Amino acid sequence: MIRVVLADDHAVVRAGFRMILNAEDDLCVVGEAGDGDEALALARELLPDVVLMDLHMLAADGVTATMQITAELRGVRVLMLSTFDLDEYVIEALRAGASGFLPKDVSPEEVVEAVRVVHRGDSVVAPRLLTRLIGTFVQASQLRPATVPPELVGLTGREREVLTLIARGQSNAEIAKMLDMAASTVKNHVTSLFAKLGVRDRAQAVIVAYETGFVTPGPKG
């Protein structure tokens, strides 16, 4: 059972998400918070698998709470939601440690699947937002010289290969097949490069890869 805490300053919004999630056999809402401070307190108390967090709340905001939760409670994943899908909000959320970002107008099915995805340890960003974000990073990277960014100097050649494929959207299983190595070896490379980059998950690793200009868009597969 995936245990979820809802954090939103509108009770009606929380009620809607509660109905959606509790209708699934493998999901259960175990707590609700009206602001970031309450979300942090509940996360500490209940240790949920996932916190469904509103980005902007009138009291303590979701970004600050996310930073605290992901830094302090390593097993708790945060899926950020917002009425606004501006690029800077998405980047802010992922930098704070969120494992995903969705606009609130996505379908119930997309919310349910996103909760499952972040619980597995993967990342999720609404496709329409991801396309725009990549475009933004590419424009910025075109202004930089074609050298290995300082942030990535410590990575081995194989780790750079793995990072490139992560940024292309490949799963560990797909990377293992493409590089002809065991899945466990890929996992070890992923763990190592995350530690070297100082990132928590794939979403943050992708942010680093594109922001530094190390990776530019290309077709998956």
Do 75 and 146 reside in the same domain of the chain? no
Name the pTM for this structure: 0.69
Q: Based on the structure, what is the number of domains in the chain? A: 2
Place of tokens 């916190």: 51
Tokens found for residue 6: 């809802």
Closest CA to 17 of 26, 29, 3, 1: 29
CATH number, domain of 57, equals 3.40.50.2300
Do 92 and 152 reside in the same domain of the chain? no
Do 138 and 103 reside in the same domain of the chain? no
CA distances from 185 to 2, 188, 192, 221 (A): 28, 5, 11, 20
Do 153 and 102 reside in the same domain of the chain? no
Integer Cα distance of 73 and 12 in angstroms: 28
Place of tokens 């999901």: 27
Do 170 and 187 reside in the same domain of the chain? yes
Please check whether residue 194 lies inside any domain of the structure.
yes
Do 154 and 104 reside in the same domain of the chain? no
Do 12 and 72 reside in the same domain of the chain? yes
pLDDT above 90 for 103: no
The boundaries of the domain holding residue 170 are: 132-211
Do 136 and 120 reside in the same domain of the chain? no
How many helices (H) and strands (E) in the chain? 10, 6
Residue 157: CB atoms within 10 Å: 7
pLDDT (tens digit, 9 = 90+) per residue, 147-183?
456 768 889 999 999 998 888 778 888 999 999 999 9
Q: Which of 73, 99, 124 is the last residue of a domain?
A: 124
Please check whether residue 218 lies inside any domain of the structure.
no
pLDDT (tens digit, 9 = 90+) per residue, 11-51?
999 999 999 999 999 999 999 999 999 999 999 999 999 99
